[in-house]
Amino acid sequence: MSSNNDKSNTFSSTRRKLLMGMATLPAVPLLAQAGLFSTPAHAQTPATADVNTTGLAVTDDEVTVGILHSITGTMAISETGSVQAEKLAIEQINAMGGVLGRKIKYVQEDGASDWPTFAEKAKKLLVQDKVAAIMGCWTSASRKAVLPVVEQYNGMLYYPTFYEGLEQSKNVIYTGQEATQQILAGLDWVQREKNGKTFYLIGSDYIWPRTSMKIARKHIEGHLKDSSVVGEEYFPLGHTQFNSVINKIKLKKPDVIYAAVVGGSNVAFYKQLKAAGIDLSKQTLLTISVTEDEIDGIGGENFAGAYSCMKYFQSLDNPNNKDFVAAFKKMWGEKTVIGDVTQAAYLGPWLWKMTVEKAGSFDVDKIAAASPGIEFTKAPEGYVKIHKNHHLWSKTRVGKALVDGQFEVVFETPDLIEPDPFPKGYQ
Amino acid sequence: MFSDYSLAELSSIFVMQGFAGLILFSVFLLMALGLAIIFGQMGVINMAHGEFMILGAYVTYFTSQFFLNFIPDLFSVYFFVAMILAFIASGALGMLVEWLMIRRLYKRPLDTLLATWGLSLILQQFYRSVFGPREVGVELPSWMMGSLPLTDVVEVQINGLFVMALTIVITIAVALLMYKSNWGKQVRAVVQNRMMASAVGINTEKVDRYTFGLGCGIAGIAGSAFTMIGSTGPTSGQLYIVDTFLVVVFGGAQSLLGTIASAFTISQAQSTMEFFLSGSTAKVLTLLSVVIILMLRPQGLFVIKVRR
């Protein structure tokens, strides 16, 4: 317990510093706006010296950004979709005339699923390539490795994965959900609609599932009526034998199996659940870690009937998303599927473009200051807005998995949920 | 920790966990058999063992796709065809690797560790380039899904039974091959004294190649079987390699009986502990006890009882 207290102290002290830092920022946009009025974003190309005072790789007709994901190693499976989405966004932005009249050029680096490599490549992108922004990272571990680098060299990172929260930086825009956005509304839904009273929590054994489950447990025990957690269990990454926990589920008969199992373990978990005769039409399974990408490996027939809680599903029925899915498949093939993180990665270049145009500058300080309040009405997930804590306001949705590997959206929060990376009472 | 359950529940727990342990035992044994031959008999530290398994898994995936698309009527039996193809593919690759690389390293067993590690990286990248980075899942014929209910909580999974049966068949086949057949005698002769074996007319190079190929082929079958429980991706092989070496080393590297006994001990210990403790704790405790026992008996548990 004492270590937890220590942690929350350091978090709140960094938060305080950040807030103090942010308090000084409002002066900056005023200057930026002055620039914006003299050079309307689309009408003409502003002079490079005006929009780039910090020596970034911006020429009169090109601006360079970095793409930093794993294309080799164990994470390549997950990060491929992010890379594809970012390249698609860049291509579309270029087709529309680029950013402040400049075409986006990208330098892609391979983090190789290795966290020190991520840090090294981030430094290379910022120091040598002078990129104006980095789209990248996937695991929290890689983000934590890159964070001090982007802060030291004052870069801008657009980070696409839903994650555990407890972080905020002037130099990062978090385009995925933080933990409370993803978890709380989903749990409320499952109690309301599925009459879930008893919960069994299962996760892979590392920081994201553990932090998420901590938040889930606090919510179940503290905020949901007459609900309890009847079991909580973590398995090593890559674990493939879930017979024991399945036996426990059979004995304790929880109303809801709440899962955050990641990667290849997912396949084993759901295949064994099905083989053990657990009927997902009778027992509710709600997961926060299975997207369309994972179902590819699990097999639609093994996952059908389970519920997934995310902000985005490929099957979302709105015009923005129809365009996005069509463009994505046109560029990367009919058989590709689009998961939550892929969509969040797609937001990165767009949000950056809009922020640059609002700030009228590529300078990182001005972008960081101009980010809060940026709205993206053409987002495939519908509509997003950047909060002053650099996370996105977003909806949470629950999808029911179908046999063909797609989700049928059965619930979405009516309003955008305010991001709260340092949730009080949940840490 | 026992007090949460009634006596009737406890008895079903032990039955269920015992059965879960038996499945785990089959899985461990299937993984370790091929390595027991390669590492135990030939002394080659094959870090690419997992990648040979994954080749078998990919072969199974493509066989299932082929059956689905071209002869869907025979889909229910595709698995048997897939296993044979997996054995052939992994075995053939094994023999090729032996000829290209391993045979130059027999006098430097430690270097095989580095060479096969490099091989595993190459194979991973090869799979990624050829089959793509995403994980693939294999669809099972319907008769392999589901379970047979014994009581209302105790159920026996059909694919678990299938893996068990498969393991028994392969173990017996390997035992007969190694201890009863002429070829097995040659293998053991070469292992014990290469010069002498060669002098009495055994073609040692050929024996080496087939032994290595057999070990890899069995890995391929194991990979094929694992598509029933796990996923197949370029790096999935890495998941198995530690457990596989653990089983083989713990059992006493050169003993088939030791491999069986050690797979049984580790799986039952882990399965039972997993129920009353958490998954991660069970794994840690299992590893710790293996380390302690290996400190006391560095040669492994069962090595002495075996004829060499």
Are A264 and B155 inside 8 Å of each other by CB?
no
Query: Across the interface, which of B19, B275, B283 has its CB nearest the CB of A248?
Result: B275
Residue pair B189/B305 in contact (Cβ under 8 Å)? The answer is: no
Decide if pLDDT at A60 tops 80: yes
Decide if pLDDT at A145 tops 50: yes
Q: What is the ipTM of this complex?
A: 0.78
pLDDT, tens digit, for every residue of A86-127? 999 999 999 999 999 999 999 999 998 899 999 999 999 999
Is the CB of B16 inside 8 Å of chain A's CB atoms?
Answer: yes
A12-16, A51-55, A157-161, B203-207: least confidently modelled range? A12-16
Query: Across the interface, which of A74, A234, A248 has its CB nearest the CB of B280?
Result: A234
Asked whether residue A225 falls in the same domain as residue A347, the answer is: no
**Domain ranges, residue B35:** 14-134+153-238
Query: Across the interface, which of B12, B13, B239 has its CB nearest the CB of A264?
Result: B239
What integer pLDDT is reported at residue A8 of this predicted model? Answer: 45
In a domain, B38, yes or no: yes
What integer pLDDT is reported at residue A17 of this predicted model? Answer: 53
In this prediction, residue B1 has a pLDDT band, given cuts at 50, 70 and 90, of: low
Asked whether residue A93 falls in the same domain as residue A201, the answer is: no
Distance from C-alpha of A66 to C-alpha of A351, rounded to nearest angstrom: 15
In a domain, B292, yes or no: no
Comparing CA positions, the residue from A67, A84, A64 lying closest to residue A324 is A84
Asked whether residue A59 falls in the same domain as residue A99, the answer is: yes
In a domain, A208, yes or no: yes
Give me A356's structure tokens: 């640059």
Is the CB of A14 inside 8 Å of chain B's CB atoms?
Answer: no
Asked whether residue A322 falls in the same domain as residue A333, the answer is: yes
pLDDT, tens digit, for every residue of B231-243? 788 888 888 888 8
Instruction: Find the mean pLDDT for residues B13-23.
Output: 84
In whole angstroms, how far apart are CA A308 and each of A190, A288, A300, A339?
11, 6, 13, 11
Most confident of A194-203, B229-238, B274-283: A194-203
| Strands of A134-136's sheet in order across | A103-110, A62-69, A134-136, A157-159, A172-174
Instruction: Find the mean pLDDT for residues B71-86.
Output: 92
Are A244 and B155 inside 8 Å of each other by CB?
no
Residue B93 DSSP SS3: helix
Are B279 and A236 inside 8 Å of each other by CB?
yes
Asked whether residue A239 falls in the same domain as residue A370, the answer is: no
For residue A119, the distance in angstroms to the closest alpha carbon of chain B comes to: 23
In this prediction, residue A18 has a pLDDT band, given cuts at 50, 70 and 90, of: low
Greatest alpha-carbon pair distance for chain B in Å reads: 67
What integer pLDDT is reported at residue A1 of this predicted model? Answer: 39
Is the CB of A250 inside 8 Å of chain B's CB atoms?
Answer: yes
Domains of chain A: total: 2
Is the CB of B155 inside 8 Å of chain A's CB atoms?
Answer: yes
What integer pLDDT is reported at residue B303 of this predicted model? Answer: 57
Decide if pLDDT at A4 tops 90: no
What integer pLDDT is reported at residue A172 of this predicted model? Answer: 97
Distance from C-alpha of A359 to C-alpha of A381, rounded to nearest angstrom: 25
Instruction: Select the more confidently predicted residue: A286 or B281.
Output: A286
A30-44, A120-134, A322-336, B7-21: least confidently modelled range? A30-44
Are A235 and B279 inside 8 Å of each other by CB?
yes
Instruction: Find the mean pLDDT for residues B156-177.
Output: 90
Asked whether residue A173 falls in the same domain as residue A185, the answer is: no
pLDDT, tens digit, for every residue of B294-304? 888 887 776 54
Asked whether residue A296 falls in the same domain as residue A186, the answer is: yes
Are A264 and B138 inside 8 Å of each other by CB?
no
In whole angstroms, how far apart are CA B227 and each of A201, A239, A337, B33, B62?
26, 14, 22, 18, 12
Asked whether residue A204 falls in the same domain as residue A264, the answer is: yes
What integer pLDDT is reported at residue A15 of this predicted model? Answer: 52
Query: Across the interface, which of A76, A297, A301 has its CB nearest the CB of B128?
Result: A76
What integer pLDDT is reported at residue A38 of this predicted model? Answer: 41
Comparing CA positions, the residue from B84, B79, B128 lying closest to residue B227 is B79
In whole angstroms, how far apart are CA B189 and each of A68, B172, B196, B248, B259?
54, 21, 8, 21, 20
In this prediction, residue B181 has a pLDDT band, given cuts at 50, 70 and 90, of: very high
Give me A144's structure tokens: 């934590």
For residue B157, the distance in angstroms to the closest alpha carbon of chain A comes to: 6
pLDDT, tens digit, for every residue of A198-213? 999 999 988 899 999 9
**Domain ranges, residue A306:** 180-311+401-412
DSSP tag of A418: P
In this prediction, residue B2 has a pLDDT band, given cuts at 50, 70 and 90, of: low
Instruction: Find the mean pLDDT for residues B142-156.
Output: 76
What integer pLDDT is reported at residue B307 of this predicted model? Answer: 46
Asked whether residue A216 falls in the same domain as residue A271, the answer is: yes
In a domain, B86, yes or no: yes
What integer pLDDT is reported at residue A16 of this predicted model? Answer: 52
What integer pLDDT is reported at residue B190 of this predicted model? Answer: 87
Instruction: Find the mean pLDDT for residues B180-198.
Output: 87
Query: Across the interface, which of A241, A277, A299 has its CB nearest the CB of B146?
Result: A277
A25-34, A124-133, A246-255, B112-121: least confidently modelled range? A25-34
Are A293 and B229 inside 8 Å of each other by CB?
no
In a domain, A7, yes or no: no
For residue A423, the distance in angstroms to the closest alpha carbon of chain B comes to: 28
Is the CB of A74 inside 8 Å of chain B's CB atoms?
Answer: yes
Decide if pLDDT at A390 tops 80: yes
B153 contact residues in A (CB cutoff 8 A): 247, 250-251
Asked whether residue A349 falls in the same domain as residue A283, the answer is: no
Asked whether residue A283 falls in the same domain as residue A337, the answer is: no
pLDDT, tens digit, for every residue of A247-283? 889 888 999 999 999 877 888 899 888 888 888 988 9
Find the CATH number of the domain harbouring A279.
Answer: 3.40.50.2300
Decide if pLDDT at A411 tops 90: yes
In this prediction, residue B7 has a pLDDT band, given cuts at 50, 70 and 90, of: confident
Asked whether residue A300 falls in the same domain as residue A200, the answer is: yes
Nearest CA in chain A to B154: A247
In a domain, A3, yes or no: no
In a domain, B48, yes or no: yes
Give me A14's structure tokens: 């960094």
Domains of chain B: total: 1
What integer pLDDT is reported at residue A395 of this predicted model? Answer: 95
Interstrand relation of A307-310 and A397-401 (parallel, antiparallel or unpaired): antiparallel
